[in-house]
Amino acid sequence: MQKILVWDWPVRLGHWLMVGGFALAWLTSESETFRLVHAISGGVVVAVALFRIPWGFIGSRYARFDDFVRGPNAVIDYLRSLLRLQPAHQTGHNPAGGWAIMLLLLLAIATGVVGWAMYNELGGEWLEDLHEGLAVAMLTVVIVHVAGVVSGSLMHGENLIRAMATGQKQGSPEAAIPSARPLAALILIAWVAAASWWLAS
């Protein structure tokens, strides 16, 4: 086992853009003054999530859904290994975390689409309630996600948060991805800038 490249640039950049966008959208959610900031930061979250869907099919090995979206047996086995405090080491996402990721992406898109409809004055108060309910559901999953990441880091003795920044985790050399896909990250930046601006305009 040695340090190998696991997370490509679009996964890492998309992740931290989503974290920043969500935090800013949450902080500005009650403010009239920062309405535009709220719409743009919410737009960043939804744009990253929309990019992540095709990237789950064409991205590098550990970014692909078929690498981490697993059936119920794999999830139960992993959760059992967690309860024994001996979780099986994963080079990519673990099977339980994989479902939290799918839920986060779906909630990000749903919250963003409903927010956009509200912003364009479609629908009534029920749309506002739905937007808030979806955002609260997303925050709940984020809290579970962060708790999973922190406990996983402690149990594996590997800093998963740093790995989401550097892209590197412990693994065997042949499990490494061959490229960090920097060009796709540039496309992500251009897409997020254009889509979030359009959503907020």
Site residues (CB under 6 A) for ligand HEM? Answer: 11, 14-15, 18-19, 22, 52, 63, 93-94, 97, 101, 104-105, 142, 145-146, 149, 160-161, 164
∠ CA 172-152-178, rounded to 5°: 30
Shortest distance in whole angstroms from residue 88 CB to ligand HEM: 13
Q: Which residues pair with 92 in a beta bridge?
A: none
Shortest distance in whole angstroms from residue 27 CB to ligand HEM: 12
> Using an 8 Å Cβ cutoff, are 148 and 141 in contact?
no
Q: In the chain, where does DSSP find H-type helix? A: 9-27, 35-58, 65-68, 72-83, 95-119, 125-156, 160-166, 182-200
Taking the least distance from each CB to ligand HEM, the nearer of 44 and 125 is 44
Shortest distance in whole angstroms from residue 22 CB to ligand HEM: 3
DSSP state, residue 29 = T
Taking the least distance from each CB to ligand HEM, the nearer of 97 and 116 is 97
Shortest distance in whole angstroms from residue 165 CB to ligand HEM: 9
Shortest distance in whole angstroms from residue 193 CB to ligand HEM: 19
Taking the least distance from each CB to ligand HEM, the nearer of 34 and 99 is 99
Dig out the tokens for 3 from the structure. Answer: 């340090």
Dig out the tokens for 90 from the structure. Answer: 């994963």
- For residue 8, the SS3 value is coil
> Using an 8 Å Cβ cutoff, are 114 and 133 in contact?
no
Taking the least distance from each CB to ligand HEM, the nearer of 19 and 118 is 19
Taking the least distance from each CB to ligand HEM, the nearer of 149 and 193 is 149
Residue nearest to ligand HEM (CB): 22
